[in-house]
Amino acid sequence: MVDLGGYVIILVETKDKKIKLYGSPADKDNLEVGDEILEVNGKTLEDATHTEVINHIHQCIRSRTICLRVKRRSGARLGKRKGKTGCCQVVDYVGELRKT
């Protein structure tokens, strides 16, 4: 088991094999359940394995910065963009990781 030094990050693999991240600084900054994370620190994780996602998150923790590009589903508070899956919005979050 890897000690994250006070960070709590929960990864969930969905039925369609997508990885979701909860409990990050972006989670506290209006990241909502159902949002799809498109990129983490400029890297797309679409076809990444669970292990690859974990390793990339560890790199983000070491760099003390996390930048998320997020696809927001229906109900977005900001401008909406119509897409194949309904209303969505792409949002960028930038935050500094801090120990809790």
Domain 10-96 classified CATH 2.30.42? Answer: yes
Q: Give the pLDDT band of residue 100 (cuts 50, 70, 90).
A: very low
Question: Can you list the pairs that 72-79 forms with residues at least 24 positions away whose Cβ atoms lie under 8 Å?
Answer: 72/32, 72/35, 73/32, 73/34, 73/35, 73/36, 77/30
Q: Give the pLDDT band of residue 86 (cuts 50, 70, 90).
A: very low
Give, in order, the Cα–Cα distances in Å from 92 to each of 6, 17, 79, 88.
25, 23, 13, 13
Instruction: Please give the pLDDT value at position 29.
Output: 54
Instruction: Please give the pLDDT value at position 76.
Output: 46
pLDDT in tens, 28-63: 555 666 667 777 788 887 777 878 877 887 888 787
**Is residue 65 scored above 60 in pLDDT?**
yes
Do 62 and 3 form a contact (C-beta atoms < 8 A)? Answer: no
Instruction: Please report, for the chain, the start and end positions of each structural domain, with discontinuous segments joined by +.
Output: 10-96
